[in-house]
């Protein structure tokens, strides 16, 4: 008798294929769910593999368009970046995948969901917090946190032996000595030989971007148009190529950025679970958009609003990294950031060249830039004498501090 139906987040790889068979051994009916979020994958081959392993049903869902519109674009509006460097490519993908996983579980009457995330990483938290938020009654099976599973499968060798025993097709090419996670926004690399933070990444590791040294010797000049803080059009000034759909825009920026080696970082970051980890990331399109959005936002947004919004962006980044996309506080922060973007509109011209993004110019119908006011050649509606009082008022606090407690009070004999 079946213990119930479980929807497994399935990748087609060795780990989740073994988990699929193991779940069946435990008495569950398994529905395999594979999300297309832009990774290079033979989805039909994965479907056939899951069916051959005994999956009751297989869902292959193309989530690329909603991944961009519902998850990447809010991150762009926020200038989302974790610990000053990481653009959150995996972090924003997990709630997108888990949302559809829960939708399938509800539709199919499944009481269980399962995933192949390890017990040491952030992804288990991101998957499960999303599932619990959107399907409070759900039960989660996390094999890599179940002693009977992780004691049985202590490494890749054990998984390979299990696969051969149960007729699970095994990879015919050697596994790279690191783990990789790819989606439309980025590719991340970690573990294996990369766990030594001093070791340099091998030259053949990068799959999404060219080595900047080998990139073209002429730049691509792009114009990116924003409305409400999100890109609505990108065009290439050199060859006239343009894109206007969210998926088309982001894919094209990935292509251009990848060609010029933009968006590589090698960092040590703080996982939510309490340990530091080394990660290498390629985020070409996201890096271009961060620079462009920062520019048009500063051009069109009030200084004090932007100061508050910067703090909200940091908070948003931490919440997303830690798996709280569907928390009430993250919902509140997203609404505040969205409000701040109402006048972030205009065009940014930039050059992409040899691993760098260079801003060339910008224009906006909602610009707060007053050329006459700021000009050194025209006085405009500004009296320079007013600056004297402004400076004296701001100096009151400084003068009193240093008179009573600072350097000036100690120099008196």
Question: Catalytic residue at 245?
Answer: no
Phi, psi for residue 183 in degrees, rounded to 5: -150, -175
Q: Which two tokens stand for residue 309?
A: 């919004």
DSSP H or E stretch at residue 265: strand 264-270
Cβ atoms 187, 230 nearer than 8 A: no
What distance in Å separates the CA atoms of residue 87 and residue 205, rounded to the nearest whole number? 19
From 94, 99, 126, 334, the catalytic residue: 94
Question: Catalytic residue at 15?
Answer: yes
Q: Which two tokens stand for residue 1?
A: 């008798």
Question: Catalytic residue at 123?
Answer: yes
Beta carbons within 10 angstroms of residue 23's beta carbon:
21
Cβ atoms 297, 346 nearer than 8 A: no
Q: Which two tokens stand for residue 191?
A: 């573990």
Phi, psi for residue 242 in degrees, rounded to 5: -145, 155
Would you give the end-to-end CA distance of the chain in angstroms?
92
Residues recorded for the chain:
413
Beta carbons within 10 angstroms of residue 248's beta carbon:
15
Indicate the Cα dihedral angle 104, 108, 113, 116, nearest 10°: -60
Cα 197 vs. chain centroid, distance in angstroms?
22
Find, among 133, 134, 159, the residue nearest to 144 by Cα: 159
Question: Catalytic residue at 188?
Answer: no
Walk across the sheet containing 220-227 and list its strands: 242-243, 230-236, 220-227, 346-353, 356-363
DSSP per-residue codes, 117-175: --SSSSHHHHHHHHHHHH-TT-EEE-GGG-HHHHTT--SHHHHHHHHHHTT----SSPP
Task: Give the 3-state secondary structure of residue 209.
Answer: coil
From 145, 179, 271, 367, the catalytic residue: 179
Cβ atoms 181, 37 nearer than 8 A: no
Residues 6+ apart with CB under 8 A from 307: none
From 29, 123, 181, 220, the catalytic residue: 123
Residues involved in catalysis: 15, 94, 123, 179
């Amino acid at each position: 008798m079946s213990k119930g139906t479980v929807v497994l987040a399935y990748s087609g790889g060795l780990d989740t294929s073994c988990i699929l068979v193991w779940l069946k051994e435990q008495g569950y009916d398994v529905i395999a769910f594979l999300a297309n979020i832009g990774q290079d994958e033979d989805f039909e081959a994965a479907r056939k593999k899951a069916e051959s392993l005994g999956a009751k049903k297989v869902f292959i869902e193309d989530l690329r368009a909603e991944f961009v519109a519902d998850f990447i674009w809010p991150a762009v509006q926020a200038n989302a970046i974790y610990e000053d460097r990481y653009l959150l490519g995996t972090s924003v993908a997990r709630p997108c995948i888990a949302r559809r996983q829960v939708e399938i579980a509800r539709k199919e009457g499944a009481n269980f969901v399962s995933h192949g995330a390890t017990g040491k990483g952030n992804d288990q938290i991101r998957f499960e917090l999303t599932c619990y938020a959107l399907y409070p009654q759900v039960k989660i099976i996390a094999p890599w946190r179940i002693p009977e599973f992780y004691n049985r499968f202590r490494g890749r060798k054990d998984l390979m032996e299990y696969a051969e025993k149960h007729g699970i097709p095994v990879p015919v090419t050697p596994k790279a000595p690191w783990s990789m996670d790819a989606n439309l926004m980025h590719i991340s690399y970690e573990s294996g030989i990369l766990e030594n933070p001093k070791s340099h990444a091998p030259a053949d590791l990068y799959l999404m971007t060219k080595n900047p040294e080998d990139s073209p010797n002429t730049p691509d000049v792009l114009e990116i148009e924003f409305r409400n803080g999100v890109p609505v059009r990108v065009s290439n000034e050199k060859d006239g190529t343009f894109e206007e759909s969210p998926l088309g825009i982001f894919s094209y920026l990935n292509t251009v950025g990848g060609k010029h080696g933009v968006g590589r970082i090698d960092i040590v970051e703080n996982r939510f679970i309490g340990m530091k980890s080394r990660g290498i990331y390629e985020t070409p399109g996201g890096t271009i958009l961060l620079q462009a959005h920062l520019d048009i936002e500063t051009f069109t947004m009030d200084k004090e609003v932007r100061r508050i919004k910067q703090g909200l962006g940091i908070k948003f980044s931490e919440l997303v990294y830690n798996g709280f996309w569907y928390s009430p506080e993250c919902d509140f922060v997203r609404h505040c950031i969205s409000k701040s973007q109402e006048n972030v509109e205009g065009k940014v011209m930039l050059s992409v060249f040899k691993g760098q993004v260079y801003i060339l110019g910008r224009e906006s119908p909602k610009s707060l830039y007053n050329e006459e006011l700021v000009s050194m050649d025209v006085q405009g509606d500004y009296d320079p004498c007013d600056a004297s009082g402004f400076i004296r008022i701001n100096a009151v606090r400084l003068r009193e501090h240093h008179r009573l407690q600072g350097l000036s009070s100690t120099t008196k004999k």
